[in-house]
Amino acid sequence: MEKFTKVTGIAAPMPLVNIDTDMIIPKVFLKTIKRSGLGVNLFDEMRYDRQGNEIADFVLNKPQYRAAEILVAGDNFGCGSSREHAPWALADFGIKAIVSTSFADIFYNNSFKNGILPIVLPQEAVDVLMKDAEKGSNARMEVDLEAQTVTSSDGEVFNFEVDPFKKHCLMNGLDDIGLTMENVSAIDSYEATAKAQFPWI
Amino acid sequence: MSPKTLYDKIWDAHVAHESEDGTCLLYIDRHLVHEVTSPQAFEGLRMAGRKVRAPEKTIAVPDHNVPTTLDRVSGVIANEESRIQVDALDKNAKDFGIHYYPVSDVRQGIVHIVGPEQGWTLPGMTVVCGDSHTATHGAFGALAHGIGTSEVEHVLATQTLIQKKSKNMKVEITGKLRPGVTAKDITLSVIGATGTAGGTGYVIEYCGEAIRDLSMEGRMTVCNMAIEGGARAGLIAPDEKTFEYCKGRPHAPKGAAWEAALAYWKTLFTDEGAHFDKVITLKGEDIAPVVTWGTSPEDVLPITATVPAPESFKGGKVEAAKRALDYMGLTAGQKLTDIQIDTVFIGSCTNGRIEDLRAAAEILKGKKIKDGMRAMVVPGSGLVRAQAEEEGLADIFKEAGFEWRLAGCSMCLAMNPDQLAEGERCASTSNRNFEGRQGYKGRTHLVSPAMAAAAAITGHLTDVREMM
């Protein structure tokens, strides 16, 4: 996994609440057996008409947001289906961080596994950053994971919380399975105990 | 010892390792796998030269992509991408030696219906699947939740998940339900009360007389939609109904092992005085048959209500409601019972079990669906289908004008050919009314099986109580 330290880039505003993973990547694109190449279909039904033409007023189709690396989104981003295709599509498009007041649990976890940092901030902070994102490509927002800050283009700084273990993995691009394997003896001993205690499992 | 919730007890019994910061390796007892969220995980194992750590605890079944038309018995899936995914699961199940129910097996069906039916899901277990509706299995007092594909790979390789504990939430439904009100109406009403993010960060325990009174099928319907309220998992403490349901299932323990399991299962309840971080209480008597009007499961109202005005909401929901009404082709103030529908779907992991089919058939008996209505029943598994045929339910559906299909996820997410066309409007027993969920620009109204049957007859959303 790619390491995440700091991103300074264009932020796209998506104020709609409850953006679900069906919106992020519609089911027709779940038939792939690969992880790559989904960026072109990110937000497909909002982004293209049935003939495959871009819908001009969709935010990521606007010239100033085509190279966005940050999303500022409405409440409860990523709700619904557990499909990891959602963060795969976001990452493939080039999104590295998402700011919202809240994220759905499964999407939140899936993001960290794919080098995307979901940032939870209070409503007032998200409102400020939403306005900042609306300024377009001249307004660069900065996300610093080490310092746990988001800085608006005007220099206003917002601190955010992140689980230390998730932060560590993301900053170092660590593979979860490799880390867990270091504790394989604990799993072995759990299994031995459980076999005696819960033999029917 | 301080009193524990049911969630605390199951959690504590599965921690294989805990780091100083509270990050745990949670041991997984059952890993359910389907064809859509697993190919990349198996590929990851192959690339790293890893094996499945506990193939005997890993169960796979294709469900999302499979056609439900009767001609699928030829074994060929016409859509090439769907076929590749199902073929990949066939191969992965064989290569890694995991339990498998192929499309041709009568036991095939939706993974969340097959697990309990075959006795894989038992009280006190941890159950995961690369599917958000894994919450269904919580009906057995099992800690069950959806995971992403990276986590699927992690569980395949290590039989554990890296987790931090969620908070405890209690949802109590007191008293009795009124006639015509079902488990679906309970679970939708809870989401209506809490919102789709109300359960985020929590594991819900459903309790109260109305929950106790539900059958196992009804309890599965309630827990299934915990995720639509934002909670990863929903739980119901096991009781005699649970034990009765499990007893004799192919993979349930037998003999002395059954007795030992039973003794343990009887300890799985929330202790008196245990702490909940959040408590929601609804009166069973206050719950009506409900229907969704918008594009989020929280957009739910009693069938007797009218379409709300977007201005009646607050914050970001105002814009979301405007967008939803536009998408759904509805106007504020319109009576919900005036909404005309053209499609009815009965099925899914929410409402594809035998009791659901019985409830719908009860309404449909001796009646015909409205002219021009497209109506289909997709049983949740081959065994549910067989039982419904034996009970004569299939004949009732067919005589009423319903298509009687083979098992799969079908129009719940429309990955197979069962889809809504642009502008079509469906009364659906599934779990999500998101934009495009049942087909591009398709419109979904979530309802109970009985309400779906009533709508099929009249051609519009209908208060089932008028037909009882």
Beta carbons of B435 and B295 less than 8 angstroms apart: yes
Q: Which of B21, B40, B64 has the CB atom closest to A35's CB atom?
A: B40
What does each C-alpha distance from B87 to A94, B77, B277 come to in angstroms?
31, 10, 45
Q: Which of A26, A113, A201 has the CB atom closest to B125's CB atom?
A: A201
Chain A residues whose beta carbon lies within 8 Å of the beta carbon of residue B435: 22-23, 45
The residue of B18, B90, B150 whose CB has the most chain A CBs within 10 angstroms, and thus the best one to mutate to test that interface, is: B150
Q: Which of A45, A82, A199 has the CB atom closest to B146's CB atom?
A: A82
Predicted complex: ipTM over 0.90 = yes
Tally of CA atoms within 13 A in the half-sphere of B74 that contains its CB: 9
pLDDT in tens, B176-207: 999 999 999 999 999 999 999 999 999 999 99
pLDDT at B112 over 80: yes
Structure tokens at B342: 């053209």
Chain A residues whose beta carbon lies within 8 Å of the beta carbon of residue B227: 106
Return the exposure string of A13-24: e unless at least 16 CB atoms fall within 10 Å of the residue's CB, then b: bbbbbbbbbbbb
What's at B198, amino acid-wise?
A: G
Chain B residues whose beta carbon lies within 8 Å of the beta carbon of residue A183: 16-17, 25
Per-residue pLDDT of chain A (201 residues; tens, 9 = 90+): 789 999 999 999 999 999 999 999 999 999 999 999 999 999 999 999 999 999 999 999 999 999 999 999 999 999 999 999 999 999 999 999 999 999 999 999 999 999 999 999 999 999 999 999 999 988 899 999 999 999 999 999 999 999 999 999 999 999 899 999 999 999 999 999 999 999 999
Q: How much is the average pLDDT of B280-294?
A: 98
pLDDT score of B363: 98
Q: How much is the average pLDDT of B293-303?
A: 98
pLDDT in tens, B397-409: 999 999 999 999 9
Q: Which of B25, B125, B315 has the CB atom closest to A183's CB atom?
A: B25
Beta carbons of B35 and B61 less than 8 angstroms apart: no
B320–A177 CB contact, under 8 Å: no
In the three-class reduction of DSSP (H, G, I as helix; E, B as strand; rest coil), residue B435 is classed as: coil
Q: Does B230 touch chain A (CB under 8 A)?
A: yes
- Burial level of B391, CB count in 10 A (0-12/13-18/19+)? middle
Helices (H), B236-297: 240-246, 255-265
Q: Considering only residues 141 to 180 of chain A, which have any Cβ-Cβ distance to chain B shorter than 8 Å?
A: 163-165, 176-177, 179-180
- Nearest chain B Cα to A190, which residue? B16
A187–B153 CB contact, under 8 Å: no
pTM flag (> 0.95): yes
In the three-class reduction of DSSP (H, G, I as helix; E, B as strand; rest coil), residue B350 is classed as: helix
Contacts of A124 (CB under 8 A, 6+ apart): none
Which of the four pLDDT bands, split at 50, 70 and 90, describes residue B117?
A: very high
Q: Considering only residues 314 to 353 of chain B, which have any Cβ-Cβ distance to chain A shorter than 8 Å?
A: 315-317, 319-320, 323
Chain B residues whose beta carbon lies within 8 Å of the beta carbon of residue A50: 422, 440
Chain A residues whose beta carbon lies within 8 Å of the beta carbon of residue B296: 18, 20
The distance of A150 to chain B (nearest Cα, Å) reads: 22
Chain B residues whose beta carbon lies within 8 Å of the beta carbon of residue A75: 197, 315-316
